[in-house]
DNA sequence: TACATATATGTAAGCGCATACATATCGCCA
DNA sequence: TGGCGATATGTATGCGCTTACATATATGTA
């Protein structure tokens, strides 16, 4: 390549990177040679000296969870527009897998990792940071120590709860996410606080912990039905699930018991995944700007890489109430 | 690191890789030093000499299409179990994005790319191969030149069509995928051949091309309803969509027109994405082993890397008929 | 004309690793 | 005891690139 153009490797490098002085003529010869040889820079070799790999990792529990593909897409779009590649890492919420991956990413010198934490471990993250790897959290918060992009879960849960209350419900069950996640805790707070503020007593027997997966929603619902008779005003007349997947499970359980949604019990989800608008009854839910979250996370991490010492960045997006058929009965609806 | 252990870098390298001769004592000192310093090999630097990056790319149209996350998961699981990382690349079926990405991957020296092609271009793939990058196609075939993992689309489409025919339908519309994709062509063949073999005349006015997305299914259905009165026996009484997403769109269009599924027109999908079992009516469809496809694709590509010159590998998985409510009316069903 | 600057290019070192090659020690057999 | 093979380790080179530094020419200024 250098010979082909009749110049030194240094000049080639300068020509290709537009750094330093290169005569017009030399540049053209280099470019011509590059084209002729179909030459492509070896990015890995470059990273050896530059320290930058132009790679970021997206570490999340499971792409198969419909919440994440949109986030991933957002990350990827912003990243690729800026010359970055993104590695996809599924942890299954498994501590071991998570730390294995982080080690892998460290030894690959990724520039940054966008992290939907499933086991809250600050030391894990600090290790990355100490290594000079930028980190931004998405969705799953971890206190106020790290850059984060999330939605306002408390507001979202209040939106949901208030909607239910507005419909006349006072006995509202809550199917929570994994208790150790801030995301779950926040949604729970929103639920409880909304109740309180309306003067509705909070009954902890109405709260069951799930794990964000469909089956756990089904299970939780069964447990709930076991403990209470929902045809009884002292039972419950509505359920708010901390994510749509669990809401789907809950609806299924309800139907299996011959209960009608929303007539017998109203169901509210969270996330607004694609399923929500297609299932029957269509699921009322709290929409999160998933794609934007990913996009902004990528933007944030790239910004962070350019100033590692800058002050903490926090992007809190607003969730939105989407009312469909699982909470209010439509009269004269087509379907 | 080398000094810390009191040996040369060569010995460190040998100790860490288990190559060449290293005394037990030296190895232990190296390992101890590594632990003490929290040393991690720089994989990129290594790839400079070894030529291997232990990275594979997964290039597909859009992770947001529910068919792909499962495939991606399969790829990732096998890959990470074998020390590989996977880069995620969305092309949107856009020729430009696709080739941009391939260039990017070349300059990053990925070891292989698992490719769900959207624009069929052999030269594109040959360029990769010439570069020493392994390629295996998933789902989208391209003649018999390359390694591929797919399902038997002809068989699948026949399964679907025969099911409909068995139900008494003779006027079966078909919403096809993009015509340039082998996947679409094969499903179309299966549809037409099944019809033929039952002595049912094939009416090309009943075939409309979509693009695998939900909206296009909706549109196609509208077009179909415009051309035919489906309450007329000479219109159509069933629709087979080449994928579930389009089937969902079709069902929506049907409902909007006040038509009932499956009573007025039966609908059959393809893929068995998560939505299929949750929507109402639940969608009858052809299930593809998505996760396995990804898993096997990763297995295949890693095998290929170890013997670049080996004979072509072709894995054709079998699709499965899943009968739900969109084709047959359930009596006494709970919901 | 003499010298400071801007422009242009090459040389060489180094990034973190693997490895060919040279060297050194040891055990063992003829 | 001389010599060979197995074992162990260091030195040096190169992977493909960037960049500090040296060098060289052109341009401008006093």
Q: What is the pLDDT of residue B335?
A: 39
Q: What is the pLDDT of residue B234?
A: 61
> What residues contact residue A167 under an 8 Å CB cut-off, 6+ apart?
A238, A266, A327, A328
Q: Could you tell me which of A81, A106, A266, A34 has the C-alpha nearest to residue A89? A: A106
C-alpha atoms less than 13 angstroms from C-alpha of A293 in its C-beta half-sphere: 28
Cβ–Cβ under 8 Å, residues A14 and A20: yes
Q: In chain A, which residue ranges form alpha helices assigned H by DSSP?
A: 2-5, 9-17, 24-37, 43-50, 67-81, 95-107, 122-130, 153-166, 182-197, 214-227, 244-256, 274-278, 290-306
Interface mutation vs chain A, best among B85, B89, B248, B250, most A CBs within 10 Å? B85
Bridge partners (DSSP) listed for residue A322: A285
Q: Is A285 on the interface with B (CB under 8 A)?
A: no
Task: Annotate A12-48 with DSSP letters as a single string.
Answer: HHHHHHT-S---HHHHHHHHHHHHHHT----HHHHHH
Q: What is the pLDDT of residue A232?
A: 60
In this complex, the answer to whether residue A9 has its CB under 7 A from any atom of chain C, a nucleic strand, is: yes
Please name the residue of chain A whose CA is at the shortest distance from the CA of residue B249: A278
Please name the residue of chain A whose CA is at the shortest distance from the CA of residue B110: A44
Q: What is the pLDDT of residue A244?
A: 97
Interface mutation vs chain A, best among B44, B80, B334, most A CBs within 10 Å? B44
Task: Kindly provide the b/e burial profile for residues B83-106, where b requires at least 16 CB atoms within 10 angstroms of the residue's own CB.
Answer: ebbbbbbbbebeeebbeebbebbb
Distance A196 CA to C4 C1' (A): 79
Cβ–Cβ under 8 Å, residues A106 and A55: no
Residues A242-294 pLDDT 10s: 999 999 999 999 999 999 999 999 999 999 999 999 888 999 999 999 999 99
Quickly name the fold that domain B153-288 has.
Rossmann fold (3.40.50)
d(C-alpha A182, C-alpha A145), whole Å:
13
Tracing tokens 């593909």 back to the chain, one arrives at: A69
> Which CATH number is A51-151+290-317 given?
3.40.50.2300
Q: What is the pLDDT of residue A332?
A: 46
Please name the residue of chain A whose CA is at the shortest distance from the CA of residue B41: A107
A153-166 and A182-197 helices, crossing angle to 10° = 40
Distance B300 CA to C11 C1' (A): 46
Q: Is A75 helix (H, G, I), strand (E, B) or coil?
A: helix
In this complex, the answer to whether residue B5 has its CB under 7 A from any atom of chain D, a nucleic strand, is: no
CB atoms near residue A67 (< 10 Å): 23
Residues B173-216 pLDDT 10s: 999 999 999 999 999 999 999 999 999 999 999 999 999 999 99
pTM for the whole structure:
0.92
Token pair, residue A153, equals 């879960």
Give A-chain residues touching B69 at CB under 8 angstroms.
Answer: 63-64, 66, 68-69
- B 39-78 residues with CB below 8 A of A? 40-45, 47-48, 53, 55, 58, 62-64, 66, 68-70, 72-73, 76-77
Smallest CA–CA distance, residue B88 to chain A, in Å, is 6
Q: What is the pLDDT of residue A334?
A: 39
Would you kindly state where each structural domain of chain B is located, as residue ranges? 2-41, 54-151+290-317, 153-288
Segment holding A151, helix H or strand E: strand A147-151
d(C-alpha A39, C-alpha A31), whole Å:
9
Strand C, nucleotides covered by protein (CB < 7 Å)? 7-12, 14-20
Tracing tokens 């590059």 back to the chain, one arrives at: A34
Best CATH choice for the domain B54-151+290-317 from the list 1.10.3720.10, 3.30.70.20, 3.40.50.2300, 3.50.80.10:
3.40.50.2300
Q: Is A325 helix (H, G, I), strand (E, B) or coil?
A: coil
| B101:A80 CB<8 A | yes
| A44:B256 CB<8 A | no
Residues B44-83 pLDDT 10s: 999 999 999 999 999 999 999 999 999 999 999 999 999 9
In this complex, the answer to whether residue B14 has its CB under 7 A from any atom of chain D, a nucleic strand, is: yes
d(C-alpha B124, C-alpha B133), whole Å:
12
Q: Is A123 helix (H, G, I), strand (E, B) or coil?
A: helix
d(C-alpha B166, C-alpha B162), whole Å:
6
Q: Which residue is nearest to nucleotide C13 (CA to C1')?
A: A49
Cis-peptide into B34, omega within 30 deg: no
d(C-alpha A242, C-alpha A172), whole Å:
13
Q: What is the pLDDT of residue B332?
A: 46
d(C-alpha B255, C-alpha B251), whole Å:
6
Cβ–Cβ under 8 Å, residues A52 and A112: no
Please name the residue of chain A whose CA is at the shortest distance from the CA of residue B332: A258
Distance B87 CA to D24 C1' (A): 47
Q: Cα-Cα-Cα-Cα dihedral of B253, A322, B276, A66, to 10°? A: 130
All residue ranges of chain B with pLDDT < 70 are 229-234, 331-335
Q: Is A111 helix (H, G, I), strand (E, B) or coil?
A: coil
In this complex, the answer to whether residue B18 has its CB under 7 A from any atom of chain C, a nucleic strand, is: no
Q: Which among B53, B77, B258 is the nearest to A44, CB-wise?
A: B53
In this complex, the answer to whether residue B52 has its CB under 7 A from any atom of chain C, a nucleic strand, is: no
Tracing tokens 């995620």 back to the chain, one arrives at: B88
Same fold, A51-151+290-317 and A153-288: yes
Token pair, residue B95, equals 């020729």
| A89:B106 CB<8 A | no
**Residue B277 φ/ψ, nearest 5 degrees:** -90, -5
> What residues contact residue B241 under an 8 Å CB cut-off, 6+ apart?
B174, B175, B210, B217, B220, B247, B249, B250, B267, B268, B269, B270
d(C-alpha A248, C-alpha A254), whole Å:
10
* HEC profile of chain B: CHHHHCCCHHHHHHHHHCCCCCCHHHHHHHHHHHHHHCCCCCHHHHHHHHCCCCEEEEEECCCCCCCHHHHHHHHHHHHHHCCCEEEEEECCCCHHHHHHHHHHHHHCCCCEEEECCCCCCHHHHHHHHHCCCEEEEECCCECECCEEEEECHHHHHHHHHHHHHHCCCCCEEEEECCCCCHHHHHHHHHHHHHHHHCCCCCCHHHEEECCCCHHHHHHHHHHHHHHCCCCCCCCCCEEEECCHHHHHHHHHHHHHCCCCCCCCCEEECCECCHHHHHECCCCEEEECCHHHHHHHHHHHHHHHHHCCCCCCCEEEECCEEECCCCCCCCCCCCC
Interface mutation vs chain A, best among B82, B92, B108, B279, most A CBs within 10 Å? B108
All residue ranges of chain A with pLDDT < 50 are 332-335
């Amino acid at each position: 390549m250098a010979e082909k153009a009749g110049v030194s490797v240094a000049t080639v490098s300068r020509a290709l990177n537009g750094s330093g002085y290169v005569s017009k003529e030399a540049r053209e010869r280099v470019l011509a040679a590059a084209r002729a040889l179909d030459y492509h820079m070896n990015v890995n070799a470059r990273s050896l000296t530059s320290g930058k790999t132009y790679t970021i990792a997206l570490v999340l529990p499971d792409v198969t969870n419909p919440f994440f593909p949109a986030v991933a897409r957002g990350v990827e779009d912003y990243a690729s527009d800026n010359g970055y590649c993104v590695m996809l890492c599924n942890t299954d919420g498994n501590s071991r897998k998570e730390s294995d991956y982080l080690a892998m990413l460290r030894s690959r010198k990724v520039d940054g990792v966008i992290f939907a934490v499933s086991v809250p471990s600050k030391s894990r993250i600090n290790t990355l940071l100490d290594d000079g790897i930028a980190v931004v959290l998405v969705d799953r918060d971890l206190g106020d120590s790290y850059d984060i992009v999330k939605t306002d879960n408390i507001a979202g849960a209040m939106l949901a709860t208030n909607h239910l209350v507005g419909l006349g419900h006072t006995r509202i069950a809550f199917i929570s996410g994994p208790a150790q996640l801030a995301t779950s805790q926040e949604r729970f707070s929103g639920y409880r606080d909304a109740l309180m503020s309306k003067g509705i007593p909070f009954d902890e027997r109405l709260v069951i912990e799930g794990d964000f997966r469909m089956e756990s929603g089904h299970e939780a619902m069964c447990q709930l039905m076991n403990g209470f008779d929902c045809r009884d005003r002292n039972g419950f007349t509505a359920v708010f699930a901390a994510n749509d997947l669990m809401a789907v499970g809950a609806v299924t359980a309800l139907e299996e018991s011959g209960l009608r949604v929303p007539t017998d019990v109203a169901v509210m989800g969270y996330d607004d995944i694609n399923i929500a608008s297609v299932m029957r009854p269509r699921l009322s839910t709290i929409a999160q700007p998933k794609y934007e979250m990913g996009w902004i996370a990528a933007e944030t991490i790239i910004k962070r890489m350019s100033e590692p010492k800058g002050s903490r960045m926090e992007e809190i997006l607003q969730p939105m109430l989407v009312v469909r058929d699982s909470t209010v009965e439509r009269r004269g609806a087509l379907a």
